[in-house]
Amino acid sequence: MKNEKQQERYIKIGEDGALLAGDATEWVAVLDTRTNLMWAVEVLKRQTWKKALKAPKKLAIAGFKDWRLPNVEELFCLADRTRCDPAIDKDFFPDTPSSWFWSSTPWASSPAGCAWYVSFYGGNSLCLDQYDEGFVRAVRSGQ
């Protein structure tokens, strides 16, 4: 059974940008009430970091066109370390693969060569070479 705090944290968003009931069966985005960030439900294909930085800017989801790649702190907030394989709430993000997703944050030790990612297999975060290919989940400020 889902804990009441989790139910209050996420709100499903419809194709037209409207807030939906928790039992809605079709939604395109999720509003995180804890961070006031809106997340695209659709997972974008695996790609290099430089392509991942640009990919969300092409999206028009729920009537919004200001999608971007999240920074590592934002993306890490989606990881649920009480779960594994995947470490995310599947009721709101049902098609999330148990794999890693790029963040927009370059690695300080090698900003031209590596960037941070979040793994939704176990909910951890590390850095990888920017030429590796990872998944992308777009975010925007929720307003």
Q: What is the pLDDT of residue 143?
A: 67
Report phi then psi at 52, rounded to 5. Answer: -65, -35
Mind listing the domains of the chain with CATH numbers? 42-141 (3.10.100)
Residue located via tokens 């996420």: 10
**DSSP states along 73-92:** HHHHTT--TT--SS-S-TTT
Give the single-character DSSP code of 28: S
Distances (CA, A) of 54 to 45, 51, 63, 73, 128: 13, 5, 19, 19, 18
Q: What is the CA radius of gyration of the chain?
A: 15
User: How many angstroms separate the CA atoms of 27 and 13, rounded?
Assistant: 6
pLDDT tens for each residue of the chain, 143 residues long? 455 545 589 999 999 999 999 999 999 999 999 999 999 999 999 999 999 999 999 999 999 999 999 999 999 999 999 999 999 999 999 999 999 999 999 999 999 999 999 999 999 999 999 999 999 999 999 76
Query: How many C-beta neighbours within 10 Å does residue 132 have?
Result: 15
Could you tell me the pTM of the whole model?
Answer: 0.93
Please tell me whether residue 57 adopts helix, strand or coil conformation.
Answer: helix
The predicted pLDDT at position 142 comes to: 72
